[in-house]
């Protein structure tokens, strides 16, 4: 096993890079439920800045959520898988209608041929 000796400046560089890398991935995402509760709290429980401080979130985020809440524009965003499932469901319903129509036509044809042959 080889042990590397690093200078103090090398350690500082490594530490800086690790901190920089971790800072890039620290974006917090909040659920829709959390946003709705936070917006409701800001309306009913006091000033936006006080509620934001209490919830440990940025005031501008809470102001934006409050505005959306008051306008009734909070909606659940559909993921691509939900959209593809919806499209697949529509295609399957269309296929069912086509197959039912074909079955209906075949039943009529069977009745016609059974009358003429018998």
Computed over every residue of the chain, the mean pLDDT equals: 80
User: What are the φ and ψ backbone dihedral angles of 77, each rounded to 5 degrees?
Assistant: -75, 135
Q: Assess whether pLDDT exceeds 60 at residue 70.
A: yes
Among 30-44, 75-89, 96-110, name the one with the lowest average pLDDT.
Answer: 75-89
* pTM of the shown model: 0.45
Q: CA–CA separation, 77 vs 79, rounded Å?
A: 6
Q: What is the pLDDT of residues 3-52, one digit of tens each?
A: 445 455 666 666 566 555 555 556 778 888 888 888 888 888 878 998 88
Residue 39, classified by CB atoms within 10 Å of its CB into exposed (0-12), middle (13-18) or buried (19+), is: buried
| Two structure tokens written together for 76 | 């659940």
Q: Assess whether pLDDT exceeds 70 at residue 89.
A: yes
Total number of residues shown for the chain:
118
Q: Assess whether pLDDT exceeds 90 at residue 98.
A: yes
In the block, residue with structure tokens 């102001």: 63
Longest pairwise C-alpha distance within the chain: 102
């Amino acid at each position: 096993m080889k042990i590397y000796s690093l200078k103090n400046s090398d350690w500082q560089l490594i530490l800086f890079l690790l901190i920089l890398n971790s800072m890039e991935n620290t974006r917090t995402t909040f659920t829709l439920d959390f946003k709705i509760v936070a917006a409701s709290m800001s309306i009913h429980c006091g000033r936006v800045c006080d509620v934001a401080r209490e919830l440990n979130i940025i005031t501008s985020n809470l102001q934006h959520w409050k505005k959306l809440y008051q306008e009734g524009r909070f909606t659940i965003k559909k993921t691509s898988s939900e959209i593809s499932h919806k499209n697949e469901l529509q295609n399957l319903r269309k296929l069912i209608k086509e197959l039912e129509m074909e079955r209906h036509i075949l039943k009529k044809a069977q009745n016609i041929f059974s009358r003429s042959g018998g």
